Amino acid sequence: GALTSATEEASRIDATRELYRPVAALGRVIYLLIVDVAALSPMYTISLEQFLEVYEASFRRADKAVLVEKRVENLVEALRYQSTCYMHRSMFWQHRTPWTLMLAMRVEAHAGTLFQSAIEALLHTGAELLSIAAERTKPLPWIPDRVWLNIIQLSRKVEVFKELPEVINRNDILCTALDP
């Protein structure tokens, strides 16, 4: 009777609540990024209360949807947009691009689609290589040594770029046409 109905309703509510977890997880990722960005300048310090205003505004501004999955998708998009607009309004111009890159990287890392090896390759690519002479020959002389070393290192560290040096070698006719 009533107890079974209440148990079923509680289970349904729990299942629906779980569907909204990606929005809460994104909120956590964004807030922790905001805390970290304060290291760039103390003027970027934002209280949890201020962030919650942005978070709640994203719920009001996100497109409504009949399906919970679509509503969650809309909320995620609105939260990314609202938080970026909020941060950009308070940032110096030169800090806006790093903010956007850091947000994208944190979101992708949280989703499991950006791995630490890719982040390290982005931050340290080529730095570990000591000599251009010790690596394969550049296909075109106008490619700067540092860029070629970065390409080599990226191909070693990030699976999706494994074939990049070969692709550049195979397309040297196209690259020659682009020769500055």
- Indicate yes or no: pTM above 0.85: no
Question: What is the distance between the alpha carbons of residues 43 and 52, in angstroms, rounded to a whole number?
Answer: 18
Mean pLDDT across the stretch 14-33?
Answer: 93
Q: Could you report the per-residue pLDDT of 1-17, keeping only the tens digit for each?
A: 777 888 888 998 899 88
**Of 141, 147, 146, 149, which is closest to residue 172 (Cα–Cα)?**
141
Packed helices 21-37 and 68-90: angle between N→C axes, nearest 10 degrees: 10
User: What six digits make up the tokens of 3?
Assistant: 């107890």
pLDDT at residue number 56: 96
pLDDT higher at 42 or 81:
81
Q: Could you report the per-residue pLDDT of 80-101, keeping only the tens digit for each?
A: 999 999 999 989 888 888 888 8
* Per-residue pLDDT at 175 exceeds 60: no
Helix then strand then coil, in percent of the chain rounded to 5, is 75, 0, 25
pLDDT higher at 174 or 73:
73
